[in-house]
Structure 1
Amino acid sequence: MRMIDFFDRGVRIAGDRPCLVTDTETLTYREVDAQVRAIANMLIADGFAPGAHAAVLSGNSAIAFEAVLGILRADGVWAMANHRAGLSENAYLFDLLDIDTVFVSQEVADRVAPLRAQCPRIRRFIALDGEIEGCDYALSDLAMDTGPVPQRREGRDDELAFLANTGGTTGRSKGVMLSNGNWQALVSSLVASMPMKTAPVNCVAAPMTHAAGPLALASMALGGTVVVLPRFEPGAVLEAIERHRVTYMFLPPTAIYMLLDHPGAGNFDLSSLEYVSYAGAPMALERLKQAIRVLGPVMNASFGQTESPMCVTAMPPHEHLNADGELAHPGSCGRPNLLSIVEIMDDEGNILGPGERGEIVVRGPLVMQGYYKNPEATEEVSRFGWHHTGDIGVRDEHGWFYVVDRKKDMIISGGFNVYPAEVEDALLAHPDIAQCAVIGVPHDKWGEEVIAFVEMHAGSELDEAAVCTFMRERVGPVKTPKRISVVAALPRTNAGKISRAELRKPFWEGREAAI
């Protein structure tokens, strides 16, 4: 089955049910299906080849979801792209992933010209919402052909379905190849771990360019309604839950904290909620207890990563609390899902027993096909026949897994992955900075906060505001350090390498989890 076949199931079982809902429109499955077929026929008529790669550079919107589905309907490969990333990051990603076509929205209209210049292999730029200078055409200008769309690929399990991306410890992104089979495993694991009483009503408030987007597409296989909010605003999310009787949503812990801190949180009817999934960063235990009190016994924990997406392990709501109403497995990210085999491994490839710390490794149909055009990195992460997550964990005698440290230097801030080397590369492009190191430190709201230590060139002084402006233009606001400190000399290992571990120590001392 292809990804689009799951949407087709939703059309068959829920044709007249709302599919996409925004503040201004409600579109049924039949209406969305017609628009998706029109976009696919337009792509095919324009020379979009079977298996070609296309990206949607947009914030959350109904038309952005329709463009993604149109790419899949045309038997293309959807390449996930973050419109909030820096221009240079997007340009590198589009070149890396051999992007043929890019759909763009008005909020990134200023990027079309520089992307054309930096990515000459992009064949078409298509405006999603009105005319955009530099685009080849706009969807609104076309005569939409809503007729049948030919199937142009076989739909084998090993066919590439979508491309995600993840930064590497070298600072360069890697394209993650996810197949039809990976998508089948993802949807099956989600349904098995979160059985729905009725067709879900899924509120998408987190960026659709990350986990929230695929999870929304998965809910369409059940004929679910996707309520699309343009951005995360606590009051708007609480209002949407009450108004649309939302049953399911995904949010990183940071966003959940903001919901809980909203002064009117207790004034909304949240009784429709069945599942609130959290992942992407550790959740403070006291905040988790508060979430259960405020939102209800609906919290659903999971662990995964881009290379083995979203639900390698899960702890559904009924397993969060014991008979006394206390957290039954505090700090756990759950037990392996139905289609995942998860173990703890040492550096020699030995499987470790309960209570022993090692790297979390995974096998099963959720694991990616590999890194795009990077067999060396694929081989490295697949040692001993297991996918290596880079996270240090432990399991107990009952099979509950706990993430306790991070083997890689990756920072998770507000649910977003930040790779220090990528930020360091951008800092070193500043003419006044000689050397630098970037680390993540504990933060009550974001989970981790990105900070930087820098050595300045002789005669230079730090203008922190100017450096932050410089960084936001290159890597975007999430990856821009929130604090920059000047040091005379960065700590180094015996081999002369900068030691991020030494910089992290004073911030993480006394904590059970060193992440």
Structure 2
Amino acid sequence: MKTLGEMTERNARYFPAGNAFTSVSRRVSNYELAARARRLSSFIYRAGLRRQDRVAILSTNCVEYFETYRACEWAGFIAATVNFRLAPREILYILQDASPRTLVFEAQYTALVDQLRAELPTIEQFICIGVTPQWAVPFEQAIADGDEAGPPIRAQSQDYAYLMYTSGTTGTPKGVVRTHHAMCRTAESCALITEFSGATRVLQTTPAFHIGGIGFVNSAAWMGGSTVVHQGFDPLAALRAIEEERVTFTFMVAAMLQTVLDLPQIDDFNLKSLEHVVTAAAPIPVPLLKRAIERLGPIFSVQYGMTESNACALPRHEVNPNGSPDQIRRLESVGLPAPGFDLRIVNDEGHDCLQGETGEVLLRSDTQLSCYWNNSVATMEALRDGWYHTGDMGYQDHEGYLFLVDRKKDMIISGGENIYSREVEVAIELHPQVLESAVIGIPDPRWGEAVKAFIVPAPGARLTETELIGHCKSVLASYKCPKAIEFISELPRIATGKINKVALRERALASNG
């Protein structure tokens, strides 16, 4: 299969009665999914969109979200996803940068979309999931009015499939573009390392706007499997779904797993169908991993990837917190490069590092991004000589296992969400009483990391922690905002004048210790 649309077509042909998607309210067979994708893409085409025009999606998880993905994949429209957790100003930036001609949105965002409409001149068609305002078309009407045969266009292998935004170190989101070829290879590779089959039933609770929100869904579909869609993560609802829908796979970061294990009702559910849980973003603490394995069995693995590319995996049979010293040590790694992936560790001069020496992680595969949308500078910085420069710092041991030790881009991972320190610093420094700031991640028992800000107030300023956090919430998504603030007279610096964040991390650890 050369396109994701062909994947949907194949499943409709060979597994027509199989469930493609299941939610609380409905089930969609493979046959029905293909038919609805054709109709929706036909309706969008009739509005004037052509191959590689953008269709933006602003919604929480629902079957309609994935049907929109499939419609875009069928016709060759680019699905441009929008993080619904962002502040209105951030959402506006993404929609203006992507320049979609169609916006599919969930009814709960009607007021927001209406507020932004005047500043979005490229959008000619609004399709609403749920109760629909007069200026939009109901999603089901769009399906009903589309042609059953589909539009007279189809996606091609080198067409762009997705445009997904990830925050950059400068505070400006970057649009990651990946082709159908790249996403097909991603689905195939992920299905291999995650051990999917036609019997796989994925429970999807993380947001669909993430690559992780569509990646495992595509991998299951690649093998003819199915997906159970939840609007968001609710631990009790997740356990109920595992039992009732015989879920075999799901994705959880440490905070999600902790919440599930802490539920008093966990022993009331039959979870024997669950064969595999992937963790990512950051290693699960060994005590939590031991507890999880005691309750659920040796079903956990680790994967390392990003919006721009897949990368590495530590498979289930190697995740053993009670094993040999080498096995326990590897739990701090993200495993080995997946089949078909090349990996290098390079120093600042671009030379390969020695074994055990820390440098920047470089990747090369058929799955990686094509470019950053409307950002040639970032593209040239990230893609050099065919290698994707991740910005992550790490080293490989004598067996090739990759250990990530820092983020070159100062990324903070809190509850599985990527937060870039510079983005938060820019927002803080919009406050007139802030002279300077530096943001770091500090250990957090629930979320893995939390955002801490060191603030140098402007002379004569009378600034409180509460006031500054409130300011941040007015310009940033709440999960990006500092959870702790420390006011200091000056920021420590290294000889070149750059802020010494190592010293700040040591200070934070000392004050917490």
TM-score (normalised: structure 1)? 0.92
2-structure distance, mates of 1:406, 1:29: 41
Aligned with 1:492: secondary structure?
coil
Offset of 1:322 from its aligned partner?
8.7
* % identical equivalent positions: 31
Partner of 2:175: 175
Match of 1:257 in 2: 258
2: CA distance between counterparts of 1:445 and 1:506?
21
Paired residue type of 1:408: K
* Other-structure match for 1:187: 187
Q: Any conservation in 2 of the 1:9–1:222 contact (CA below 8 Å)?
A: no
Residues 361/151 of structure 1: CA separation in 2 closer, same or farther (3 Å cut) = farther
Segment of structure 1 superposing worse, 92-101 or 226-235: 92-101
Cα pair distance change 1:278/1:323, threshold 3 Å: closer
In the superposition, relative to structure 1, how do residues 406 and 233 fare at CA in structure 2: closer, same or farther (>3 Å)? same
1:402 and 1:428 mapped to 2: Cα distance?
34
Partner deviation per Cα, 1:154-174 (whole Å, 9 max, x = no partner): 613x32111122222111111
**Cα distance in 1 between the residues matched to 2:501 and 2:478:** 22
Other-structure match for 1:6 = 7
Written as runs of structure 1 = structure 2, the 5 A alignment for 1:202-351 is 202-210=202-210, 211-309=212-310, 312-321=311-320, 324=323, 327=327, 329-351=330-352
Partner Cα separation in structure 1 for residue 319 and residue 508 of structure 2? 29
Unaligned runs of 5+ in 1: none
- Supply the RMSD in Å over aligned alpha carbons: 2.3
Cα displacement (A) at 1:252: 2.0
Judging changes above 3 Å, is the alpha-carbon distance between structure 1 residues 66 and 492 closer, same or farther for their aligned structure 2 residues?
same
- Output the amino acid matched with 2:206: A
How many angstroms apart in 1 are the aligned matches of 2:226 and 2:274?
14
Deviation per CA, 1:139-160: give whole Å up to 9, x if none. 244443351124525613x321
2:177 is matched by which residue type in structure 1?
M
Matches of 2:374 and 2:425 in 1, distance apart?
Answer: 25
Aligned to 2:388: 387
Q: Secondary structure at the match of 1:4?
A: helix
Equivalent AA in structure 1 for residue 44 of structure 2: L
Report if the CA contact (8 A) 2:51-2:155 is conserved: no
Structure 2 unaligned residues grouped into runs of 5+ = none
Relative to structure 1, the CA distance from residue 508 to residue 120 in structure 2 (aligned partners, 3 Å threshold; closer, same or farther) is farther
Counterpart of 2:450 in 1: which secondary structure? Answer: strand
Aligned counterparts of 2:359 and 2:481: Cα–Cα separation in 1: 31
Q: Does 1:414 align with 2:415?
A: yes
Q: Is the 8 A contact 2:75 2:154 kept in 1?
A: no
- Helix, strand or coil at the partner of 2:478: coil
What is the CA-CA distance between 1:510 and the residue it aligns to? Answer: 13
How far the C-alpha of 1:15 sits from its partner, in A, is: 1.2
Q: What corresponds to 1:164 in structure 2? A: 164
Deviates more, 1:110-119 or 1:58-67: 110-119
Q: Answer whether contact 2:43 2:147 (CA < 8 A) is retained.
A: no
Higher mean C-alpha deviation, range 461-470 or range 355-364: 461-470
- Cα gap change, 1:55/1:154 in structure 2, threshold over 3 Å: closer, same or farther? closer
Deviation at 1:488, TM superposition (A): 2.5
**Deviation per residue, 1:210-252 (Å, 9 max, x gap):** 1122321331222222111111111111111111110011122
Aligned length: 507
Q: How far 1:361 moved relative to its partner? A: 1.2
Spell out, residue by residue over 1:385-431, the C-alpha distance to the aligned partner (whole angstroms, 9 max, x if none).
Answer: 42111112121222221112222211111111111221122222233
* CA deviation string 1:451-494 (max 9, x = no partner): 22223334432343343333223211111111222223233344
* Counterpart residue identity of residue 314, structure 1: A
Equivalent residue letter for 1:177: V
CA shift digits 1:54-73 (9 cap, x unpaired): 11100011112112222222
Flag the 1:119–1:180 CA change in 2: closer, same or farther, 3 A.
Answer: same
Distance (whole Å) between structure 1 residues aligned to residue 155 and residue 76 of structure 2: 9
When structure 1 is superposed on structure 2, of 324-333 and 449-458 the one drifting more is: 324-333
Give distance in 1, aligned partners of 2:9 and 2:503: 53
CA 1:338–1:151 in structure 2 vs 1: closer, same or farther (change >3 Å)? farther
**Pairs within 5 Å for 1:74-85:** 74-85=75-86
Check 1:39–1:394 CA distance in 2 against 1; reply closer, same or farther (3 A cut): same
Aligned-residue offset at 1:372: 1.6
Superimposed CA distance per residue, residues 312-332 of structure 1 (whole angstroms, 9 cap, x where no aligned partner): 111111222399588452212
CA distance in 1 between partners of 2:271 and 2:249 (Å): 11
The letter of the residue matching 1:137 is V
8 Å CA contact retained: 2:441, 2:450: yes
SS at match of 2:43: helix
The aligned runs of 1:82-93 (5 Å cut-off) are 82-93=83-94
SS in 2 for 1:277: strand
Indicate the residue corresponding to 2:503 in structure 1: 502
- Indicate conservation of the 8 Å contact 1:11/1:223, yes or no: no
Deviation at 1:76, TM superposition (A): 0.1
- Matched residue SS, 1:388: strand
